[in-house]
Amino acid sequence: MEEEILEKVKVLYEEKEIQTRIAALAKQIDDDYQGKKVVVISILKGAVFFTVDLVKRMKTPIELEFMQVSSYEGTTSTQKIKIKKGLEQSITGKDVLIVEDIIDTGYTLKYLKEYLLEQNPNSLKLAVLADKKERREVDVKIDYTGFVIPNKFVIGYGFDYNQMGRNLPYVGYIEMA
């Protein structure tokens, strides 16, 4: 069943397009954080691919952290956010960049931003690879956006369908019936 779905993936962004956009985001982030060190928080699991490619292109010194949050059951957002893995260090007084694969309804990133702001970082910014604006239900300021995407179920380059397809080198989509 899942293998059949992977055969139906249509390409939305080729690998080269993704890498070109990430290089531009890295430059923008470097310009904004000039002379500073940044704690980059990658949100597991989907943002790992984006995070690695982004920080490899950044000149800004970084500390890398990971968090895992969950708000989905299958393909549906529950609006109940659970932190499955928290930070291993304090971010108090530090410049922080959250790196997430996608924002759609906005509930997860709004919750995460409020949660991290309670820890008194010097600054907190958000970078997302994909912004599904037409699905937004709560307002969240995104500082760095890779692509604004249509309301489609995306797969590849970190996005998955039941944990499959993350390792596709492009971002594709599946027409869900």
Q: Per residue of the chain (177 residues), what is the pLDDT tens digit?
A: 566 777 789 999 999 999 999 999 999 999 999 999 999 999 999 999 999 999 999 999 999 999 998 765 555 555 678 888 888 899 999 999 999 999 998 998 999 999 999 999 999 999 999 999 999 999 999 999 999 999 999 999 999 888 889 999 999 998 866
Distance CA 50, CA 36 (A): 21
Integer distance in angstroms from the first to the last C-alpha of the chain? 14
Report which of 94, 99, 119, 95 is spatially closest to residue 109, judged by C-alpha positions: 99
Tokens 């969240």 found at: 140
Report, as residue numbers or ranges, the catalytic residues: 104
pTM here is 0.91
